[in-house]
Structure formats: structure tokens, C-alpha cells
Amino acid sequence: THLSELRVLMYLEELRTIKKEIQDTLNGYYEPDSDEDKLKRTQLVMNRVRARMLLNMASDPQVFGKILDCLMISPREIRKIAKDIIVLKKDIPKDIPGINLIRFTVGITPDDSKEVRLQKLLAYNAMSTKEELDEEYADKDYSVDDIISGEEEFCATVSDVLTKHIIEFWIDYLNSSISALGKYLPFTEEIVLMYQTLLQKLGVKKRISENIARYDKMFETKERLNAIADYASLELNNFISTVGRRYMSEENLKEISEKALRCNVNLDLTAQGIEATRKKQPVVDALNALDESFDIMRKPGFNESDMQTLRRLPLWDNFQRWQNLLLIGLLLASGVSTKDPAENQAVKELIEKINLLYS
């Protein structure tokens, strides 16, 4: 009957809506194979993020501050981490020469799996179980797990250990903010992953460790904990608000420019667009700009004079710069593989199956 046909069409439309939601979710976890596909994916993310941010800012200018609040960390938790490492010594630097000497002598290579490494270590020590090895290495500054792990970068100093724990806390915090961030932005997983990728690519971890080492020598214990906590939180929060701009080299900017050209996206790579410079202006000018902005926002269109007025508003200027930097960061982070190949392939196959449904 006609009613039954309408009901079928209604259900089919609902199923297609569900399919679209599943596709969007899976696409957030899938990393394309080719560089061009990765750039296309990044272009999609950039366009969606830019569009959503504009809509949200148009309806509620406070959204910009709320987005940054979701990503900012407090020095309080970092101070606890510093106390655990510096005072309570819950984790200590590893004996890198000792670990590397054992690996070299036993014949462990970077390409060996954890199981292969364990078997080589067991054979060299003429033992049959890991428990025996654990007992043998119980009095060392490193464990059997340190030797057989895939980790090639060890923490050789207190500042390295502390930085490692701070960064782990920061990454966990960002990941926990994805849900809250999703109220204001699409592709929040991509944005959080971008920050983690840039932290690694731009060498931020090393810089933080070097600065913490200086603070470690400059202050007594009590002041040291506060100084390190304040510095680390400020550094990471600045990294969020500037999307790592201060760490970007001319080579990085060149890479961004080339990718932007290939993606056909307009970015402002001038000093005005990427440098957070403080501009002095009389309070009365800012207040006048605020008054004028009410009329401007009610107009059907903006001219250049209107745009200049809006740029005199700190909130608008900061928002424009951060949005520009966010897009720059997404481009710079694109192409850096972060997915497990097997898991990525499984997601790809699942996407292909979903695409066949309700076509």
C-alpha cells in the first residue's frame, strides 16, 4: 500500500542517517594510504572546522574562550607530578649505557619484537622463564622490561623523567577533553592528535626537558616544584594557544605553504597572521570599536572599514589568529603517520562494507 511504501522510505532515510553518522565516526579513525589522500582528508577537516567555528562564534563569541579552556592545564597537577619524581622518587633515570650494553651483547636489534628480545635474553642467561630473569635483575636500576621493550629513547636525567610524566599527563588530559571539545568543534580527535603530533615533530619535549633541568638547578626543593609546575603548564598552554608557532622553523613554514597550495586553501603566513604581538591602543578606542561592532554585525555585509573595526577588538583578532594557526597546525601535522597499520586496514575494510549499505 501507499502507506507501507511511505513507511519503508521513512525507515530507509533513518538508516541512511545512521549510516552517515557511522561513516563520519569511522573516517575520524582512518588514515588514508597515499599522501594526496591524507591531504584531501586534512582539507576536509580544515573546511569543516573553519565552518563550525564561524557558526559558533557568530551565535556565541564566548565559544572561543570555552574551546581554549577545554585544552588548558593547571599547574596544580604538574606540581604533584614534580613532587612524585623529585621528592618521592617514584621514577628514576634509567642506566642507558647498561641497557644498551646488554642489548648489544645479547644481539637485540631495534627490529626485534618484544618476544624475540625476551628469548634472546633468556638464551644468553641460560634461563627458561622471565621470572628467573626478573630475579636476576632485581638489584639493577633497570628491569628486564626495560631491556626487552621497544622503547629506544630512555630518560637519562631527572628532567627527562619528569618531562616524560608531564607529557603523559598532558596527553591524557587532552584525550579526556575530546568530549567537551566536541560541543564546539567537529573532528576533535583530529585536533587533539594534531597537538600530540606537533609536540613530537617540533621537538617540544626536548626543549621542555632542557628548561626543567635549568629550574632543577636554580631553586631549592619547595620553590623548585612551584617553578617547574608554573613553567611547564605555561609552556604547554602557550603551545595550545599558538599551536606550536614559536617552535616552527622556516622549513616548517615552507612545508605548510606547499601543502596549502596543494590543498587550495588560503592561509595567512604573514607576521600579522601568525605572530601573537601585543598592540597598544587607548581604552576608548577599544570601547568605540565595541560599540561600532554591534551595528556592523547587524549589517547585511562587511566592507574593509568594517573589518578594520572588528580587528580592533582583542577577542576577534585573537580568534582569527588562533583559527589561522589551527589550520596551519593541521596542515603541518598531516602526513605524519600515527596509526597502527593493521588497525588502520581493519577500519578501511569496515568503511568499505558500510559504504555498500543502503546505497
Secondary structure (DSSP) of 157-207: SHHHHHHHHHHHHHHHHHHHTHHHHTTT-S-HHHHHHHHHHHHHHTTHHHH
What DSSP character marks residue 249? -
Mean pLDDT of 132-141: 89
What residue type is 36 in one-letter code?
E
Mean pLDDT of 161-175: 95
Is residue 147 within 8 Å of residue 103, measured between CB atoms?
yes
pLDDT of residue 208 exceeding 90, the answer is yes
pLDDT band at 286 (very low <50, low <70, confident <90, very high): low
Give the least confident one: 102-111, 257-266, 277-286.
277-286
pLDDT of residue 191 exceeding 90, the answer is yes
| Long-range residue pairs from 99-105, CB within 8 A, at least 24 positions apart, any chain | 99/142, 99/146, 99/147, 99/154, 102/147, 103/147
Burial class (CB in 10 A: 0-12, 13-18, 19+), 230: middle
Residue 151 pLDDT:
62
The grid coordinates listed for 135 are 630475579
Residue 280 pLDDT:
62
Mean pLDDT of 211-231: 91
pLDDT of residue 325 exceeding 90, the answer is yes
Mean pLDDT of 40-52: 88
| Per-chain mean pLDDT for the chain | 83
CA 296 to each of CA 64, 260, 301, 311, 323: distance values in angstroms, whole numbers, following the listed order: 20, 31, 8, 12, 21
Residue 268 pLDDT:
85
pLDDT of residue 348 exceeding 60, the answer is yes
Residue 170 pLDDT:
97
The set of residues, in sequence order, having a beta carbon less than 8 Å from that of 42 and lying 6+ positions away, is 259, 263, 330, 331, 334
pLDDT band at 77 (very low <50, low <70, confident <90, very high): very high
What DSSP character marks residue 110? T
Question: Higher pLDDT residue, 149 or 95?
Answer: 149
Residue 249 pLDDT:
92
CA 356 to each of CA 12, 20, 21, 31, 353: distance values in angstroms, whole numbers, following the listed order: 14, 12, 15, 20, 5
The grid coordinates listed for 155 are 630518560
Mean pLDDT of 155-174: 91
pLDDT band at 19 (very low <50, low <70, confident <90, very high): confident
pLDDT band at 332 (very low <50, low <70, confident <90, very high): very high
pLDDT tens across 290-311, in order? 555 555 555 666 556 655 655 5
